[in-house]
């Protein structure tokens, strides 16, 4: 049975953590996303809601059967990698003891036709068409999270990873499983869409693949030995993961607002948000693998970040590889 925000009381939730910090489960610190399925067929209303909230949570927007198919194919890949416990049905996605936290597996999206249809065709593209008010272009790279027991994602804004094209770009976070809060799922910081341009003005101008050509890490970045240099403190060997902070609890206490999530994300749901909406995820406290994708969409006429679309002759996107690095004089 579908769990809804109205029948799930925050006081009844189990203890939840994000990045190992215990989330405050009080009405002023934690709550449920506002649903926008009521306006999903109305472009003006979708844009108005996005401008108000910085996100659109649209339960049931996608074809659930297609997502179930896509999940199955992803789980086959996880099984082949030895991540799953064969004592349980494959579709349950129960991880083998000691399998750790794979966290990121974009390769699992390859040759998965139902996943490609769900993400880049049909109801998803129609929804984005209404939202952007015209033809839609999507990135060719598909991020896939396979989060095992342990930490989710630190608070960040997506612009630092994909800001070389239009900033009117949107993320769709799509659960590939029914994900109760204990399995972890995405959480957004309420009102961060409005607050971040003021509180994070410098951060929002960063690009993780840019490094100081005249700094201590130039050679390491160019040789692929250091992924991303810390934007604020480019000390020798100091890496950065694009996060605003590793402490979601302290961030919320400083900013106010609530961490917003769903009592249970369901296959067929989608959560859309902007490049400046602060988000992270809840840690997975179970043995169930938490599968989801994050994908990106924009108006087809707007400039695109060259790292995330196919190159000449259909070459795979360069992404965060050395080819995507840019030096600057600091």
Q: Which of 192, 206, 292, 298 lies at the binding interface for ligand AKG (CB under 6 A)?
A: 292
Angle between helices 113-120 and 122-132 (to 10 degrees): 20
- Distance in Å, CB of 4 to ligand AKG, minimum: 22
Which residue, 101 or 281, has its beta carbon nearer to ligand AKG?
281
Task: Tell me: does residue 294 bind ligand AKG (CB under 6 A).
Answer: yes
Between 209 and 217, whose beta carbon lies closer to ligand AKG? 209
| Least Cβ distance, residue 271 to ligand AKG (angstroms) | 8
Find the shortest distance in angstroms from Cβ 174 to ligand AKG. Answer: 9
Q: CA 328 to CA 177: how far, in whole Å?
A: 42
Q: By Cβ distance, which residue is nearest to ligand AKG?
A: 294
Q: Are 154 and 244 in contact (CB under 8 A)?
A: yes
* CA gap 25, 16 in Å, rounded: 8
Show the tokens assigned to 214.
């005249």
Minimum CB separation of residue 158 from ligand AKG in Å reads 5
Stretch that binds ligand AKG, among 2-10, 150-158, 229-237, 260-268 (CB under 6 A): 150-158
32 touches 262 (CB < 8 A): yes
Per CB under 6 A, contacts with ligand AKG among 72-131 are none
For ligand AKG, the closer of residues 94 and 270 by Cβ is: 270
Residue 186 or 244: the one with the smaller Cβ distance to ligand AKG is 186
Contact predicate 264/2, CB 8 Å: yes
Residue of 54, 93, 148, 152 that binds ligand AKG (CB under 6 A):
152
Residue closer to ligand AKG (CB basis): 166 or 292: 292
Burial class (CB in 10 A: 0-12, 13-18, 19+), 22: exposed
Nearer to ligand AKG, 169 or 318 (CB): 169
Residues 209-248 that bind ligand AKG (CB under 6 A): none
Element of type H or E holding 188: strand 186-189
> Does residue number 192 form part of the binding site for ligand AKG (CB under 6 A)?
no
Instruction: Give the 3-state secondary structure of residue 120.
Output: helix
Q: Read out DSSP for 55-94?
A: EEEETT-S-HHHHHHHHHHHHHHHHHTT-B-TTS-GGG-B
203 vs 215, which CB is nearer to ligand AKG?
203
Task: Give the residue from 16, 51, 21 showing the smallest Cα distance to 170.
Answer: 51
Query: For residue 170, what are the CA distances in angstroms to 13, 47, 313?
Result: 30, 12, 26
- Residue 53 or 158 having the CB closest to ligand AKG: 158
Decide: is 171 part of the binding site for ligand AKG (CB under 6 A): yes
Among 36, 206, 281, 298, binds ligand AKG (CB under 6 A): 281
Residues 142, 75, 23: CA angle, nearest 5 degrees: 75
Question: Which residue, among 137, 87, 88, 79, has the nearest Cα to 108 in the 3D structure?
Answer: 79
Which of 186, 189, 200, 244 contacts ligand AKG by CB under 6 A? 186
Q: Which residues bind ligand AKG (CB under 6 A)?
A: 145, 152-153, 158, 171, 173, 186, 279, 281, 292, 294
């Amino acid at each position: 049975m579908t769990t809804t925000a109205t029948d799930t009381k925050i006081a009844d939730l189990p203890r939840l953590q994000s990045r190992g910090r215990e989330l405050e489960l009080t009405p002023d610190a934690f709550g449920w996303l506002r649903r926008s399925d009521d306006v999903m067929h109305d472009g003006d209303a979708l844009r108005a809601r996005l401008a108000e909230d910085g996100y659109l949570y649209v339960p049931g927007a996608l074809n659930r059967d297609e997502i179930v198919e896509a999940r199955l194919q992803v789980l086959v890949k996880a099984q082949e990698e030895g991540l799953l416990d064969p004592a349980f049905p494959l579709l349950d996605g129960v991880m083998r003891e000691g399998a750790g936290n794979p966290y990121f597996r974009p390769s699992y999206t390859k040759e998965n036709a139902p996943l490609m249809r769900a993400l880049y065709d049909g109801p998803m593209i129609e929804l984005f068409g209404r939202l952007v008010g015209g033809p839609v272009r999507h990135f060719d790279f598909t991020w896939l999270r396979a989060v095992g027991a342990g930490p989710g994602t630190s608070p960040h804004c997506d612009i630092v990873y994909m800001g070389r094209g239009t900033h009117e770009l949107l993320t769709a976070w799509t659960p590939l499983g029914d994900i109760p809060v204990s399995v972890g799922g995405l959480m957004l910081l309420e009102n961060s869409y409005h607050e971040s341009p003021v509180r994070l003005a410098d951060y929002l101008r960063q690009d993780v693949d840019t490094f100081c050509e005249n700094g201590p890490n130039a050679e390491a970045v160019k040789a692929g030995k250091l992924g991303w240099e810390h934007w604020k403190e480019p000390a020798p060997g100091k890496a950065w993961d694009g996060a605003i902070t590793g402490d979601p609890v302290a961030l919320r206490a400083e900013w106010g607002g609530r961490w917003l999530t769903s009592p249970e994300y369901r296959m067929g749901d989608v959560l859309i948000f902007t490049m400046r909406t602060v988000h992270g995820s809840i840690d997975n406290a179970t043995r169930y693998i938490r599968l989801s994708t994050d994908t990106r969409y924009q108006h087809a006429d707007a400039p695109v970040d060259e790292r995330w679309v196919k190159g000449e002759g259909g070459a795979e996107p360069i992404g965060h590889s050395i080819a995507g690095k840019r030096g600057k004089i600091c």
